[in-house]
Structure 1
Amino acid sequence: MSSARIPYVPLGAFYFFYFAVIGGFMPYWGLYLQSLGFGAAEIGQLMAIVMATRIFAPNFWGYIADRTGKRLLLVRFGALMITLGWLGVFLAREFWPLALVLLAYGFFQNAILAQFESVTMAHLGEQRDRYSQVRLWGSLGFIVVGTGLGVAFDHISLSVLPLAMLACALATWLSSLAVPDIATATRRDASHGFREILRRPAVWTFFAAHFLLLLSHAPYYTFYSIHLESHGYSRTEIGWLWGLGVGAEVLMFLVMHKVLPRTGEQRMLLWSLLLSALRWVMIGFGADLPAVIWLAQLLHAASFATFHAAAMVVIFRHFGDGHQGQGQAVYSMLWGVGVALGSWVAGAVWSVATAPWIFSVAALLCLLAWVLLHQAGTKASAPASRA
């Protein structure tokens, strides 16, 4: 497929608005819940509910998508349901009603991305190394909303957060309508069974490392803003810190199509894990040193961007077209398991005093993931090298 036929603008627009929703949710949802009077344990539980939907929703949708090949139709339906479901946030203020709303929101929000990744890869065709140039628009959407709301919330109430996210959700659905449909293989086309692929050492080792990395991210996703605010950072500074991290991600995505073919997926994954461990230690123990916190956010380029870009290539090469939806779904499911479990545990023990040690445990999880991938060695990279 030539680059002229790739619908960069519609694909990029969807990523922009999809991650704009997350740009409002991840930095400020914990603060919003705090403003409603919820404690750390309840915040951790509510965040865990959203993350936990990644355990079952992506696999359910992935199964349907691989059976029907109607990935884009499922994405459009899910984006519409996110918009409609988000209306419930305006009514829910108590724990259980809010938990039900977040369960519905997470079920669709966390399911459609895996299928849209497959749609994007299908449009890119043989130019899959240019995936990062499309995906970076999602990072830009996160930055625009994340930093913009940070500045706004130093002057206006956090109560407007649901309205901002509703607007972004509506734009996500509208942008999905502009993406051209494309034929994708169904499960019946696959020459190898899904379970057979999962049993490959290179595959299950990769997924285990991915799970540990996301488990380590849970304190960051759930309590980073609360952690900074407890150390005197303003909401404008918090917004810019989130934006800086995603900005570093954008810059990395811009060059990944050149760097990844030279470096290889295995080496890229290993470096990502080491730098992620360093990042968590800096955040945990450097909160009173602004220079350390700002520098740590630059490492988001490693803890997310480089790992994710390499992971997309690994998944595509191992799962091919016929099982692509399910492969993406497992990747997304493990994201949910890791962050949900980590959010629940972190919420149960979180305090200003325990924060450094919680981030230290996160660093150790990254090192464990590094050991798993390193021991796999050439076995993990051999399938990719033959592709």
Structure 2
Amino acid sequence: MLFSIPAKLWLSFNFITFFFIWGVFLPFWGIWLSDQGVSSESIGLLFSIGLLLRFVSNLTLLPMVSSAKSTLSLLRFLVFFTLLAFALLLFFHDYIWLAVITLVVNFMMGPLAPLGDLVGTRLVKQIQLDYGRVRLWGSLSFIVGSTCVGWLIVGSGNDAILWAIIAATLVMWLLSLLNLSPQLHDEIIATTEKKQSLFTLFKRPDVLLFLIIVGAIQGSHGAFYAFGTIYWNEVGFSGVTISWLWAIGVFAEILLMRFNKKLFTGWSIKQMMLLGLLAAIIRWLVFAFSENVYLLATFQTFHAFTFAVTHLAAIRYIALQKNSEMVSYQSLYSGVALGLMMAGFTYLSGIFYAQLHGHVFLIMSLLLIPVLFCIKIWKAE
């Protein structure tokens, strides 16, 4: 670790490389496994177990972080072994190896985005970082990753998927070795505050309400992530149209993160959460009853509110906590809200999609209505 770069630039590169990897892994890993001879049933099982392992790793590995130094150490460790695991697939092609390594990388990659967020929350306190303007590079990189590999597959075949992931993970690991300037403060070690256990924190009403609110809003995206493309294909939208609808949502998210300080400086956390919740209720209602591509494109821009505003509010809330509790809050947010509750909403949508098709979005909308009461009684700024 001989070189130092500005902390803001380091975090931007961290998000760029991780979300490039994620933009390749999430849409294309099933295709790569299928090309290796893995059945669709096995791929579905591996993805389901992988989701559970990401939940487990967030609740077991993140609480190991006790200082700024250990945050970066854990990130470097996980990136290195993720790189090693993917590299092994260049030499081992049996089903057992494919299955084991797929599960291992899910476990290792689970905490990587939360660790980046944890660095971000520290920098929000330390240098008044505009988190949204840094995080937007991750969203943009996700689009670049999925688009570039889509092109590479056409020209070079499915082997490009693995090589792209290995190359990006190598870059991420090398970047992780750089020092930050200024360095993160080891505030948690210096404090005399007792670190709260996850279970103790989870029992607190304010924390439980936070997880229910943010988990419900983010979890309601599960139906869209799993079945949005399938449903739009069923109603006759072309692949190009579907791609544009997805892109509109992500670009709206990027724009909001770019200008979030100007837009939400005077807003409270509860107001931001309420905006995200109301936008989600309306968005899923429209998706349930409309097949008009222009109307859908308009309400796809609500992704900026349903995902981005909710996430920014959650990060702001975590950054306000005591240093001794910040890691635990991040662990619960990543593991329970973004992991377990997302999995639950996705599973529920899978049960009903065959019978309801597009009306599965109505269920997502209706499930969010009681959360309005949770926001009302939640004690947050």
TM-score bucket (shorter structure): 0.7 to 0.9
For residues 46 and 363 of structure 1, the distance between their equivalents in structure 2, rounded to whole angstroms, comes to 29
For residues 239 and 159 of structure 2, the distance between their equivalents in structure 1, rounded to whole angstroms, comes to 14
Contact 2:152/2:160 (8 A) holds in 1:
no
| Greater Cα shift, 137-146 or 216-225 | 216-225
Distance 1:45 1:330, change over 3 A: same
Match of 1:323 in 2: 325
Which of the residues 298, 301, 304 maps onto 1:301? Answer: 304
Q: Give the secondary-structure state (helix, strand or coil) at the position aligned to 1:263.
A: coil
The offset of 1:79, in angstroms, is 1.2
The offset of 1:173, in angstroms, is 1.9
For residues 285 and 158 of structure 2, the distance between their equivalents in structure 1, rounded to whole angstroms, comes to 30
Match of 1:71 in 2: 71
| Greater Cα shift, 306-315 or 239-248 | 239-248
Structure with bigger helix share is: 1
Letter of the structure 2 residue corresponding to residue 360 of structure 1: L
The offset of 1:188, in angstroms, is 7.5
Is the counterpart of residue 209 in structure 1 residue 213 in structure 2? yes
Distance 1:368 1:296, change over 3 A: same
Q: What is the 5 A alignment of 1:220-299?
A: 220-286=224-290, 288-299=291-302
For residues 127 and 235 of structure 1, the distance between their equivalents in structure 2, rounded to whole angstroms, comes to 44
Is the counterpart of residue 336 in structure 1 residue 339 in structure 2? yes
Letter of the structure 1 residue corresponding to residue 273 of structure 2: L
Q: Output the TM-score relative to the length of structure 2.
A: 0.83
Letter of the structure 2 residue corresponding to residue 104 of structure 1: V
Deviations 1:40-90 (A, max 9, x none): x76654433232223221222222112784110110111122222234666
Contact 1:65/1:115 (8 A) holds in 2:
no
For residues 39 and 287 of structure 2, the distance between their equivalents in structure 1, rounded to whole angstroms, comes to 24
The offset of 1:263, in angstroms, is 1.2
The offset of 1:193, in angstroms, is 4.8
For residues 240 and 357 of structure 2, the distance between their equivalents in structure 1, rounded to whole angstroms, comes to 22
Deviations 1:145-179 (A, max 9, x none): 23444566677755643333333323322222235
For residues 88 and 184 of structure 2, the distance between their equivalents in structure 1, rounded to whole angstroms, comes to 33
Distance 1:135 1:31, change over 3 A: same
Q: Give the secondary-structure state (helix, strand or coil) at the position aligned to 1:66.
A: coil
Q: What is the 5 A alignment of 1:128-207?
A: 128=128, 130-150=130-150, 160-180=160-180, 181-186=183-188, 189=191, 191=193, 193-195=195-197, 197-207=201-211
| Greater Cα shift, 47-56 or 229-238 | 229-238
Taking only the aligned residue pairs, the percentage that are identical comes to 24
Q: Give the secondary-structure state (helix, strand or coil) at the position aligned to 2:323.
A: coil
Deviations 1:252-283 (A, max 9, x none): 11122233331111010011011112222333
Distance 1:31 1:187, change over 3 A: same
Q: Give the secondary-structure state (helix, strand or coil) at the position aligned to 1:194.
A: coil
| Greater Cα shift, 207-216 or 195-204 | 195-204
Letter of the structure 2 residue corresponding to residue 370 of structure 1: L
The offset of 1:240, in angstroms, is 3.8
Extract unaligned runs of 5+ from structure 2: none
Distance 1:153 1:302, change over 3 A: farther
Q: What is the 5 A alignment of 1:18-29?
A: 18-29=18-29
| Greater Cα shift, 271-280 or 301-310 | 271-280
Contact 1:281/1:360 (8 A) holds in 2:
yes
Contact 1:276/1:363 (8 A) holds in 2:
yes
The offset of 1:128, in angstroms, is 4.0
Q: Output the TM-score relative to the length of structure 1.
A: 0.82
- In the comparison of the two structures, how many residue pairs are matched? 370
Deviations 1:119-152 (A, max 9, x none): 2232343554611111111112112223444566
Is the counterpart of residue 310 in structure 1 residue 317 in structure 2? no
Deviations 1:297-355 (A, max 9, x none): 2111111110111101111212x22222221111100111122233344445543x533
The offset of 1:104, in angstroms, is 1.0
Deviations 1:7-32 (A, max 9, x none): 22221011011111222234445666
Is the counterpart of residue 11 in structure 1 residue 11 in structure 2? yes
Deviations 1:91-134 (A, max 9, x none): 6686x765433321111111122222222232343554611111
Contact 1:136/1:250 (8 A) holds in 2:
yes
Q: Give the secondary-structure state (helix, strand or coil) at the position aligned to 2:220.
A: helix
Extract unaligned runs of 5+ from structure 1: none
Distance 1:269 1:45, change over 3 A: farther
Distance 1:348 1:197, change over 3 A: closer
Distance 1:182 1:375, change over 3 A: closer
Match of 1:366 in 2: 368
Distance 1:148 1:99, change over 3 A: same
Letter of the structure 1 residue corresponding to residue 188 of structure 2: T
For residues 371 and 88 of structure 1, the distance between their equivalents in structure 2, rounded to whole angstroms, comes to 50
Letter of the structure 2 residue corresponding to residue 311 of structure 1: A
